[in-house]
Amino acid sequence: MTRGGVGPVVGGVLLLLVAVGLAFWGISTRAKALSVVTRETHELAVPTVSVVRPDKGAPQQEIVLPGTMQAFTDAPIYARTNGYLRKWYADIGMRVRAGQVLADIDTPEIDRQLEQTRADMATAEANLRLAQTTADRYRDLIKSNAVAQQDLDNANGNLEAKQTAVASSRANVNRLEQLHAFGRITSPFDGVVTARNTDVGALIDSGSNAKELFHVASVRRLRVFVNVPELYSRAAHPGMQADLTLDEFPGRRFAATLARTAESIDVTSRSLLTEFDVDNPKGELLPGSYAQVHLKLPTETSTFKLPVNTLIFRTEGLQVATVIGGTRVALTPVTLGRDFGTSVEVITGLTGNEQVIVNPPDSIQTGQTVRIAAAQTPK
């Protein structure tokens, strides 16, 4: 081959090699790009999540429950006789002693009946004395057979009848005297008058038509009724101490003692009715007030606190998403206790070592692969 024919062949080979090199470079570049895209796609398919660990609850917890304060002894005062109110001696806010007169009632009808009954009793007593004299005389005469035995028996029977009549009259007099005594309305115990619903000259009636005249409440000690949730009912036992706070006494706490419980869970509210007693020697606390009862309850089981944005609400119930082995998701059912606003108390379902996902997506499922985000170091 001549020198002039070799040149074009070498040039063609070089061009072919360049073309093959360019083709190989393009293919390898595309392969690398595809590998990068595939890797990035796989990485993007694995969601990155933030996790928190549950905070262990305190061994003793304080719960705050609403309570209603009531007088230790509270009684409406009614009349037991008919008449007209002559005078009242106690008005609202007045402190009274047991047996102190609250009002007097005029009872003209009872007075006239009492006079008639006393007269009837006097007649019965006179008849009794005559029957007694007759019976004694017949007993003396029977000894000499001056009278028949039948006459003596009649005299003794008449005596017994007169004795019964006297007893009946005396009982009737006692009944009317008691009704007359009911004309004086007295306080049944030491306390304060919280209501007066009558005035001078008012018609007073008894029985089914009776109207409340006064209302007396004993306020030296108050009862505070609190509904304790069923969850904490086992820890509420007589003798436990509690603190009361009221809005009208900012910064002050009043000591109360659990006196008794209903020993039964109310099926409507699922709570235990309890009664706390609080001393009120100065009368500062008023019956009917709203109070907040602070109970310190020992916890028999370990509890944990979690942020509210870790909870998952589904048809299966309340759950949280945890990370197992650093990459796998597990959905765990939990039971909540108290709600602290930004966090909640978890009673069952956690051991304290879990990594709980914050703000889990709605589509998260058990077994799903995730990546835990690196914790940010605070400045």
Task: Tell me the domain boundaries of the chain.
Answer: 65-70+219-298, 108-182, 302-372
The band of 304, judged by pLDDT with boundaries at 50, 70 and 90, is: confident
CA–CA separation, 85 vs 184, rounded Å? 10
The band of 378, judged by pLDDT with boundaries at 50, 70 and 90, is: very low
pLDDT above 70 coverage of the chain, percent: 88
Q: Which residues pair with 353 in a beta bridge?
A: none
Backbone region of residue 270 per phi and psi (left: phi > 0; alpha: psi in -120 to 50; beta: other values): left
- 102 touches 187 (CB < 8 A): yes
Helix (H, G, I), strand (E, B) or coil at 11: helix
Tell me the range of 10-19, 256-265, 309-318, 333-342 where mean pLDDT is highest.
256-265
The band of 4, judged by pLDDT with boundaries at 50, 70 and 90, is: low
- Whether domain 108-182 has CATH 3.30.365.10: no
Q: Which CATH architecture does the domain made up of 302-372 adopt?
A: Beta Barrel (2.40)
Judged against a pLDDT cut of 80, whether residue 51 lies above it is answered with yes
Predicted pLDDT of residue 377: 44
Nearest to 192 by CA among 276, 105, 285: 285
Predicted pLDDT of residue 196: 94
Q: What are phi and psi for residue 306, nearest 5 degrees?
A: -135, 150
Half-sphere exposure of 8 (CA within 13 A, CB side): 4
Between the CA atoms of 185, 189, 194 and 199, what dihedral angle is there, to the nearest 10 degrees? 10
Cα angle, residue 176 at apex, residues 172 and 177 outer, rounded to 5°: 115
What's the whole-model pTM score? Answer: 0.59
Distance between the two ends of the chain, CA-based, in angstroms?
80
Q: Which one has a higher pLDDT value, 302 or 311?
A: 311
Judged against a pLDDT cut of 90, whether residue 372 lies above it is answered with no
Among the listed ranges 41-45, 213-217, 248-252, 335-339, which one has the minimum average pLDDT value? 41-45
Q: Which residues pair with 363 in a beta bridge?
A: none
Predicted pLDDT of residue 326: 79
Predicted pLDDT of residue 260: 93
The per-residue DSSP string of 253-290 comes to: -EEEEEEEEEEEEETTTTEEEEEEEEE-TT--S-TT-E
CA–CA separation, 179 vs 177, rounded Å? 5
Judged against a pLDDT cut of 60, whether residue 3 lies above it is answered with no
What pLDDT digit, counting tens, does each position of 329-345 carry? 888 898 887 777 888 88
Q: Is 325 exposed, middle or buried (0-12, 13-18, 19+ CB in 10 A)?
A: exposed
Number of residues in the chain = 379
* Mean pLDDT, range 66-83, rounded to an integer: 92
Q: What are phi and psi for residue 45, nearest 5 degrees?
A: -70, -20
Nearest to 217 by CA among 360, 351, 90, 318: 90
The number of angstroms, rounded, from the C-alpha of 334 to the middle of its chain's C-alpha atoms is: 26
The band of 142, judged by pLDDT with boundaries at 50, 70 and 90, is: confident
Nearest to 76 by CA among 172, 202, 212: 212
Instruction: For CA atoms 300, 301, 306, 308, give the dihedral sign.
Output: negative
Helix (H, G, I), strand (E, B) or coil at 238: coil
- 87 touches 103 (CB < 8 A): yes
Q: What is the DSSP letter of 213?
A: -
Q: Which one has a higher pLDDT value, 62 or 193?
A: 193
b/e map of 68-87 (b: 16 or more CB within 10 Å)?
Answer: ebbbbbbeebebebbbebee
Six token digits for residue 55: 């905070």
Tally of CB atoms within 10 A around 223: 20
In the chain, the amino acid numbered 352 is G
- Do domains 65-70+219-298 and 108-182 share one topology? The answer is no
Cα angle, residue 207 at apex, residues 202 and 211 outer, rounded to 5°: 40
Among the listed ranges 6-10, 49-53, 176-180, 366-370, which one has the minimum average pLDDT value? 6-10
Classify 65-70+219-298 by CATH class: mainly beta
Judged against a pLDDT cut of 80, whether residue 6 lies above it is answered with no
